[in-house]
Structure 1
Amino acid sequence: MQPDYTSGIWQFEGYAFVPHGTSGATIVQIHGAAQGNTTLLLRIYNGDMRYYDSEVIATDLYDKWFKVNLIHNVDEGRLMVYINDVKKFESHDQGPGDLYFKCGVYGAPSDKSRYMESRWRDIKIYKK
């Protein structure tokens, strides 16, 4: 999603819906980083959201709309993830780069399901 950014504080906000049966799918990401291709990946595994394929961020997300907020303070190298207005995760980013938000379905891990779907609505991007 435009615009690309390299500094400042940026926020992605949107409502996601992931139907039962989608597993191993990246549903939202911040693309670009000094180290690797992405700064953030959020994946759904069996109804639970994970940071990449490790830390569980939220559970029981199948078949319901949920609000996703990603806040990226590039200048401080900090990421925050809010699900339904509750802070669920905070981390350092992967370094500066040509950054932008993506949402949808991206299947990368070997343990992904054959069926993958996510729906999005009311997407907004803010800059401070």
Structure 2
Amino acid sequence: MKSTLSFLLVSLFLSVCVAVNGGDPTDGFTPVPLTDKNIVIQKPYNIPLDQRYSFKDGVHRMCVYANDKPHSPSSHTQPRTEIRIKGLDYHSGVWQFEGYGFVPNGTSGATVAQIHGASHGATTAILRIYDGNMRFYSGDLIAKNLYDKWFRLNLIHDVDGGTVTVFIDGEKKYQTNDQGPGDLYFKCGVYAAPAHISYYMESRWRDIKIYKK
């Protein structure tokens, strides 16, 4: 009787937790197969890959300097070292990026994750770190005190519904309207903002997954 009662209490507790927290952000989604062929590294065009990127023990480490070149001689964008999820571009439906990120203290003014593509502008979502805090582009605050610790990021794009939702460590932190449909794909790493950037920028990523409904 006691064991049955304990089981019922635990089940009730878990049910309440799910109801309060809204469940896991991946609930209802289907994993999309992701292979090495889907991982494309963009880095300063004149720098050897191993000077800006490494993959060891399941961790992608990416860094860039403020005075680095862009990823292409013909590009006029800011320097970056990023993972571009290739071959899984989307134009409709509901898609989700999941990954565990780590940003060392001192990195500031760096985009660490994004949804590239939109009807209006080049991107749908930019998640930047400024002084340890994550912001949507350089504006709305998403999460604070992210330096020097692993955090779980879930970035959901409902193209048909026109929304972008951000979860940090399983908790819904931010939601906003998107910029309309386009040729869309996910990226993560470090991409210097237009201004107010640190000289050295770094982020690390592991357990990257893509989901869709």
Q: Which residue of 2 aligns with 1:44?
A: 129
Residue type at the aligned position of 2:162: G
- CA shift digits 1:85-118 (9 cap, x unpaired): 0000001100100000000000022111001000
How far off is 1:27 after superposition? 0.2
1:76 aligns with 2:161: yes
In structure 1, distance between residues paired with 2:180 and 2:155: 16
Dislocated runs of 4+, deviation >6 Å: none
Q: Which residue of 2 aligns with 1:25?
A: 110
Q: Which residue of 2 aligns with 1:13?
A: 98
Q: Which residue of 1 aligns with 2:206?
A: 121
The range that moved more, 118-127 or 107-116, is: 107-116
State the SS of the aligned residue for 2:119: coil
In structure 2, distance between residues paired with 1:108 and 1:44: 10
How far off is 1:127 after superposition? 1.1
In structure 2, distance between residues paired with 1:27 and 1:109: 14
In structure 2, distance between residues paired with 1:70 and 1:117: 20
In structure 2, list runs of 5 or more residues that go unmatched.
1-84
Q: Which residue of 2 aligns with 1:87?
A: 172
Higher relative contact order (CA 8 A, sep 6+): 1
Q: Which residue of 1 aligns with 2:145?
A: 60
In structure 1, distance between residues paired with 2:212 and 2:139: 29
Residue type at the aligned position of 1:62: Y
In structure 1, list runs of 5 or more residues that go unmatched.
none
Question: Which structure is larger by alpha-carbon Rg, 1 or 2?
Answer: 2
The number of equivalent residue pairs is 128
- Aligned match for 1:96, one of 181, 185, 192: 181
Q: Which residue of 1 aligns with 2:77?
A: none
- CA shift digits 1:17-62 (9 cap, x unpaired): 0000000000000000000000000000000000000011000000
In structure 1, distance between residues paired with 2:157 and 2:195: 28
Residue type at the aligned position of 2:189: G
TM-score under structure 1 length normalisation? 0.99
Q: How much identity, in percent, do the aligned residues show?
A: 66
The Cα RMSD (Å) is 0.5
State the SS of the aligned residue for 1:116: strand
- Aligned match for 1:111, one of 178, 191, 196: 196
In structure 2, distance between residues paired with 1:56 and 1:78: 17
Residue type at the aligned position of 2:124: T
TM-score under structure 2 length normalisation? 0.60
